[in-house]
A and B are shown apart, each in its own frame.
Chain A
Amino acid sequence: MSEIYEQPLFGIFITILAFQLSKIIARKFKFAVFNPVLLSVVSIICFLVIFKIDFESYNIGGQYLGFLLGPTVVALGVLFYEKYEQIKANILPFVSAVFLGGTLSIISVSTIAIVLGAPEFILKSIAPKSVTTPIAVEISKIIGGVPYITAGIVIAVGIFGNAFGPAILRALGIKNKNAIGAALGTASHGIGTARALDEGKLPGAYGGLAMCINGFLTAIFTPYIINIVLTLFA
């Protein structure tokens, strides 16, 4: 007889439960570390470790939720269409900024990691660190990274950008709110964009669009950039 936790229901149920509880806690403590995703992930891991349940058993159900990231990426195309109208006037400098920022993200993270001695699969897992999780996971699978490591790092980068992004940018002399929004969306995807919305509606739109454009660019260029970095440094 299979254990109760070896049914799809188990993984789906504890994920939804943990997420709902995390949202309640996150609402009480308005600080970036109390992010609902981080809290859910940490609490589920603790639960599985305490009750000695394998990730594989959990993922019997978990994979159904993960599968929904596919249509979510398509939904981002709809979001992009909506926001596109709002920033038409600034489209050229905006796309250039996201393009350069996004490209430098892949180049810098993989170069620094390889110089510090990280193996190839780590490099490939963290290369798409700045793009939204559904896209990052797809990129990681295609270039030979580990999607679980990718997801963890992407979430961490999002929380870092959300918590410290605006303060870092202001310390570096950035005053323009739309520029702050675009930077948060490019460097730390949806979780960063949530913070861009605190700066205002338009900075929030810049963040959302930057997230979509960078996701698309990163999906196209990462395999090539990784190959170049590997031939240069490995």
Chain B
Amino acid sequence: MITAEQLWLIPLLPLLAAGLGALTPRRGLAVASGAAIAGLVGSFIVSCLALRTALAHPAEHAAYNFTWFALGDGAVRLGWLLDPLTAFMCVMVTFVGSLIFIFSLGYMKEDPNAARFFCFLSLFAAAMLGILISNSLLSLFVSWELVGLASYLLIGFWFHKPEAAAAAKKAFITTRIGDLGFLLGLVWLYDATGTLLLFDNGAGALEAPALGGMAAQVAMFGLPVTTGIGLLLFCGAVGKSGQFPLHVWLPDAMEGPTPVSALIHAATMVAAGVFLIARIYPLMAADLVMEAAPIHALTVVAFIGAITALMGAVIAVAQNDIKRILAFSTVSQLGYMMLAIGVGSWTAAIFHLLTHAFFKALLFLGAGSVIHAAHHEQDIRRLGGLKGHMKATFGTFAIGMMALAGVPFVFSGFWSKEAILHAAHEWDVSHLPLYAGLCAVVLTAFYMTRLMAETFFGKARTEEASHAHENSAVMTVPLVLLAICSILLGFLGTPAHPWLQSQLLGAEVEAHGIFEGAGLMILSIVLVGGGIGLGWFIYGRNLRAMATDKDPLERASPGLIAFLGKRLMFDELYAATAGRLNTFGAAFSDFMDRQVWGGLVNFTGRFGLFSGWFSRDTDEGGLNGGFDAGSAGLRGSGKFYSRRQSGDAHGYLRTVALGFVVLVIAVMLGGGW
């Protein structure tokens, strides 16, 4: 029997495996991979036992808290939390994770550094599980940053490729921007409630007394404190979950090995943001009681989610890299989840998170299987005709595709997406998110059909594709298992029998007939059918004969597709705006620097990463010396940032010292002594 007190076992096992993996030499692949898989399977078993405990009392948030250290009168306390949300997530992460680990055995077997790879994978899984079981936002934040570190290591695993190194850096820096908001939210929450524990027998931050107190306080502009804190915490989720406007890192992160994409960028890491918001949902929703508040935190979440869902789907239409299409579909699906939370149905979001984790992991692993078979060819224009060579991959991939597109009644994606659309329909603030969601439904069906048609049907268009053959069982068995789950999981939460939702909420959810709200369901079925039909009409009917043929859509409107292909020019936009602002800030700093203010301006500037150090001689070096390959790959804003990193240790230290002086003076003037 696993209770909250023993929950630390779950992240500990993978952590031990990571430690062991770090100590094994390069050739010790068997030890490292065996430890990783054993560790994660072990924590899967523990998670299942924990799920059993949690389901016995679904309404209870069983917390085990302990004092980490005492400081004067206060104490920093941490804790573990066991409720159905935690338990379901743990089971999902460990199950999908184990399958991905096994798949990696086949995928990475030729890589000389595979032992290191398994060490990083285990570290990643441990950090993710740490997020899930935390009852304290502090330990959650620590695990959150560890996830960031592990993803940096994994995305940059092939760091000898400049693109991979740059993508790792980009992912790390972009998510850090969101994490800054997260950290500020934590500090504010601690200031407002005096605790970072979520549940603590009535004294936790998510429990009624603290929430009531915070919701009644007005911070500024008529906004309750909880709105401010909620939105700051949401910033962290925006970064981690690849929401607009911080989604730019996620597609680039596909430079990592494909199992990493499946693990991090489909099933777990990006889900962390959604999980966080679902976890702190009482806090996010606390301001709803204030009718007069100009904006509610959840409204922002809903609209960000809707924008992300639509944008991701639109961009995915014009991508040609198989993994990038999946990456943008992940962005889009994460938008759906945020949308669901925003419109008030966090159970639908978690339902979609769970189903999505399975079918997206399936799709990524399927893509990995294709890529592995086709000698690392990822461009769908240069694949084709794989249906005959790779039957198992084709079949499972098709199941994943239909689950993602939402083909009705059988596949899990249909039920979870339907739950979200239904919740959006009932939201009384605005129907715009619903319309965005419905548009994304068509687009999703359309681009997934295109992906299938281009990759698997027709004739092989290159040497690599024609020589592709099915992979070994170590890679296909996980695919089959994931495909089975992608179908079965949907039946946990159908409207007729909303078992999952009831367990998550801890209260019986009223069962509706399958056909309740049939109008919306029929509409979305029609839309899915329309999307698939359109995709087949454009791509499937007359398959491209040559890899260099133009895309039919590109022929119709080349400008639009090129624009979409460049991902709506977000990278360029950031280079032009944030980057320009940065240059301007730096020039301004230079001016002030040589006049009176010295490092003061620089400090405030550096603090937001939007300004930087700029001194005369380093300017010469920075501008004329050029950048090394790593920063050259980090396009746009990255280039501007790196130019400010002058490498001048004296400058850094001086900035810190002057920043200290400014802070002290500010505190004294502010009377905060």
Chains A and B are bound partners? no
Residues of B within 8 A of A (CB): none
Q: Report which A residues bind B (CB closer than 8 A).
A: none
